[in-house]
Amino acid sequence: MAAINPVVDLAMDGDIAILSVNHPPVNALSQQVRAGLLDGIRRAIGDAAVRAIVLICDGKTFIAGADITEFGKPPVAPSLAEVEDALEGSPRPVIAAIHGTALGGGLEVALCCHYRVAVPSARCGLPEVNLGLLPGAGGTQRLPRIVGVEQALDMVTSGKHVDAKAAHAAGLIDELVAEGDLRGGAIGFARRVVAEGRPLRRVRDLDDKVAAARGKPEIFEAFRKANAKKFRGFLAPEYNIRTIEAAVDKPFDEGLAIERKLFIELMQGTQSAAQRYVFFAERQVWKIPDVPDDTPAIPIRKVGVIGAGTMGGGIAMNFANIGMPVTIVETKQDALDRGLGVVRKNYERSTKSGRLTMAGVEQRMQLLTGTLALEQLADCDLVIEAVFENMDIKREVFGKLDRIVKPGAILATNTSALDINQIATAVQRPDAVIGLHFFSPANVMRLVEVVRAQHTSKPVIATSMQLARKLGKIAALVGVCPGFVGNRILYARSQQASAMLMEGAMPWDIDQAIYDFGLPMGPFAMSDLAGLDIGWSAEKSKSSIREVLCEQNRRGQKTGAGFYDYDEQRNPRPSPVTEKIVKDFAARSGQPQRTISQQEILERCLYAQINEGAKILEEKIAIRPSDIDIVWINGYGWPVYRGGPMFYADTVGLHEVVARLEDYGPRLGKDFAISPLLRQMAADGKRFQDLK
């Protein structure tokens, strides 16, 4: 075996050259890999004894794409295009041997080989769209020439991975070889190609699949229309579609030039920068400086959930989904029956979309045991309390749990705002207490805030993070404060939204600005969805617009009216009743009215959030700014293409954020204060991304 360089080797197996990449963790196409591949191909071609070349990777995967850490930096030769040209132009057949994932640039390299073989467990995909990009190394021009326009459109705009079997059926993989013997299978395939004198099959020369869509622009229009909601606000899906159109309408090299131009445009834009940032943020969020990866974890085999309401039921579903038995405790039989009934209904709904079979539903339901006896939780490794948000009740529950549940178990609360340190004083083992704040609906939403209380032990933290990952969630470790990270920032926005309501904006004006910015809904539509009567009681005074709405039985979507009026399908309409309530209320308060611009709505809502995020960092409630962004993207639908509130602040410029907050001055409220950290960073010309 000859080392071309530290990450690429060239070896011979008889008359077959084996070019192998060994660049952990994912064999990304960094400069050294590109240089090694180019050199290796040239050497192999230059050796008259070589009859065919197999391109294969060591480690857990085939090439998983370009090296994302190189993006945004000046390019260093050789380019990926040079490597691809060398592969495609090779006078001897080149066979890509795929295991793990052939993604992005990795699949594009494979598409420049003359043949592709894979083990059955391999997957292929062009996930660039998830980084706000398009496949910029010929993938958009070659993929549709093999799999056809419809599948190519689906793959490039969804970023979905296709398993080897489906890829084989689509013609993307020429042959499946035995799992565990990729090298042998690929060499055998190469020998057959040579023996049978098979042609050098260059994907760029294929035309029939793209020709089938030529002169049919309606294919693309229908695709755009069908996906308009999913693509809202994102640039990359539309750019990807345009490249596939080019593959259909233009000669190969012209299509390639269009791909390059659109790729560069995306690469230089803010959306891709944001999405690349989120890619790394999603990986960073699991890393906890003082809780290293080798912290011993507590084995979790049985879980208890207290409360069979919406939250408790949803939480229990997560565990049943991964095959873990769950005991659900309620205080009354009818509440328990109702809760388990809702869980079953939710599962059954999944059978309609084909995500679950009826057998799958039964399997999950069998893992759920309902009981009225807290004592049944004695042998659980983890208990999650999801009862009413009331400190006395929670403390009482924890006191009982302390006496019942076995030593070493984790005692978690799903509180969304209460002081977990105070809850922990109800037990003799405060090190076992942690917050696991699931977001509603808990079986759907990806975010869990893992809340570290004063005495929470490191194994309890490590176990909670690992468990969240097993559940398919994304978890951010946060500290104790009212509302933790997510709801505390939400509250900062709500305060501005409510203030602007009093100053002359209508709920739908504010909601529209937030929706147009890219969130799924604004604060008032969100309140209507959650119910305006949360924490409200008729005895209370009419101290806010929300309370007046509740008085008039406008309690949100569930009563057909709240800030908005709703039709039978729950479509919202601006409400003249609400408008009158708001105006009367403002008049009674003597609040002068004015027209509020969309710019002011956005700046006050968003900059107040950023300011609160800065305070959270000051107080060390979040480990890093990108964790706050992860919370807001996954818990509240902040648009990924804007990277989260803290990344967004960087794109605006912290100096500008502070200057605008100062301009708004007293309008922001008498308790509003600009974060000293934000001020300091703005003065120093820093970005949140500089805080590592």
Least separation, in Å, of the C-beta of 25 and ligand CAA? Answer: 4
SS3 545: helix
65 binding ligand CAA? (CB under 6 A): yes
d(C-alpha 527, C-alpha 530), whole Å: 5
| 205-214, long-range: CB < 8 A, 24+ apart | 206/145, 206/146, 207/145, 209/144, 209/145, 209/146, 209/147, 209/148, 209/149, 210/144, 210/145, 210/149, 210/247, 210/248, 212/148, 212/149, 213/144, 213/148, 213/149, 213/248, 214/248, 214/249
Q: Which of 9, 39, 84, 128 binds ligand CAA (CB under 6 A)?
A: 128
Residue whose CB is less far from ligand CAA, 103 or 447: 103
Q: Output the smallest distance, CB 442 to ligand CAA, in A.
A: 24
Q: Which is nearer to ligand CAA, 122 or 661 (CB)?
A: 122
Strand locations in 343-489, DSSP E? 368-371, 382-385, 410-413, 433-438, 447-452, 474-479
- 369 close to 396: Cβ distance less than 8 angstroms: no
d(CA 329, CA 308): 7
Of these, 17, 44, 55, 68, which contacts ligand CAA (CB under 6 A)?
68
Nearest to 447 by CA among 486, 412, 421: 486
Closest separation in Å from C-beta 283 to ligand CAA: 4
The structure tokens listed for 181 are 């013997």
For residue 244, count other CB atoms closer than 10 A to its CB: 28
Taking the complex as a whole, the smallest distance from the CB of residue 241 to ligand CAA amounts, in Å, to 16
- DSSP structure class, residue 431: G
Residue closer to ligand CAA by CB (options 104, 435) is 104
Taking CB under 6 A as the criterion, the residue among 21, 26, 152, 278 binding ligand CAA is: 26
At 12, give phi and psi (nearest 5°): -115, 140
Least distance CB 137 / ligand CAA (angstroms): 4
Per-residue contact flags (x/-) with ligand CAA for residues 89 to 118, judged by CB under 6 A: ------------x-xxx--x----------
| Phi, psi for 3 (deg, rounded to 5) | -80, 125
What contacts 93, CB < 8 A, 6 or more positions away?
52, 53, 114, 115, 190, 193, 194, 198, 200
Helices (H), 215-323: 217-226, 228-231, 236-249, 252-268, 270-284, 310-321
Least separation in angstroms between residue 675's CB and ligand CAA is 29
The reply on whether position 132 binds ligand CAA by CB under 6 A is no
Question: Does residue 474 touch ligand CAA according to CB under 6 A?
Answer: no
- For residue 670, the Cα-to-chain-centroid distance in whole angstroms is 37
**Pattern 531-550, ligand CAA, x by CB under 6 A:** --------------------
Per CB under 6 A, does 240 bind ligand CAA? no
Out of 7, 66, 122, 525, point to the residue binding ligand CAA (CB under 6 A): 66
Span near ligand CAA by CB under 6 A; candidates 25-33, 230-238, 448-456, 497-505? 25-33
Of 274-293, binders to ligand CAA (CB under 6 A) are: 283
Nearer to ligand CAA, 45 or 630 (CB): 630
Binder to ligand CAA among 19, 38, 131, 661 (CB under 6 A)?
A: 131
Q: Which stretch binds ligand CAA (CB under 6 A): 21-29, 485-493, 579-587, 637-645?
A: 21-29
Question: Considering only 9-17, 62-70, 249-257, 507-515, which stretch makes contact with ligand CAA by CB under 6 A?
Answer: 62-70
What span, in angstroms and rounded, lies between the C-alpha atoms of 641 and 278?
9
Q: Whole-number minimum distance, CB 70 to ligand CAA, in Å? A: 8
80 binds ligand CAA (CB under 6 A): yes
Cα 371 from chain centre: 35
- Shortest Cβ distance from residue 134 to ligand CAA (Å)? 7
Q: Which range of residues in 20-28, 435-443, 593-601, 678-686 is near ligand CAA by CB under 6 A?
A: 20-28
Kindly write out the interface string for residues 367-406 of this chain, putting x where it contacts ligand CAA by CB under 6 A and - elsewhere: ----------------------------------------
122: left (phi over 0), alpha (psi -120 to 50) or beta: beta
Q: Dihedral angle at the C-alpha atoms of 412, 415, 417, 418, nearest 10 degrees?
A: -70
User: Given strand 16-21, what is the order of strands in its sheet?
Assistant: 2-5, 8-13, 16-21, 52-57, 94-98, 115-118, 175-176
Least Cβ distance, residue 650 to ligand CAA (angstroms): 20
For residue 198, which phi and psi values (nearest 5 degrees)?
A: -65, 150
Q: Give φ, ψ of 447 to 5 degrees.
A: -90, 140
Residue 52 vs 467, nearer CB to ligand CAA: 467
Beta carbon nearer to ligand CAA, 102 or 182 = 102
Kind plus residue range of the DSSP H or E element containing 205: none
Nearer to ligand CAA, 28 or 316 (CB): 28
Cα separation, 285 vs 485, in Å, equals 14
Residues that are catalytic: 108, 128
Of 136, 479, 507, 644, the residue at the interface with ligand CAA (CB under 6 A) is 136
Q: Which is nearer to ligand CAA, 64 or 177 (CB)?
A: 64
Lookup: tokens for 525: 């539509």
Site for ligand CAA in 27-46 (CB under 6 A): 28
Contact with ligand CAA (CB under 6 A): which of 39, 67, 245, 650?
A: 67
Tally of residues, the chain: 692
CB of 155 to ligand CAA, least distance (A): 13
Is 127 near ligand CAA (CB under 6 A)? yes
Distance CA 259, CA 246 (A): 8
| Closest distance to ligand CAA from the beta carbon of 69 (Å) | 5
Nearer to ligand CAA by C-beta: 99 or 302?
A: 99
Closer Cβ to ligand CAA, 67 or 533, answer by number: 67
Output DSSP code: residue 288. Answer: B
By CB under 6 A, name the binding residues for ligand CAA.
25-26, 28, 61, 64-69, 80, 101, 103-105, 108, 127-128, 131, 133, 135-137, 283
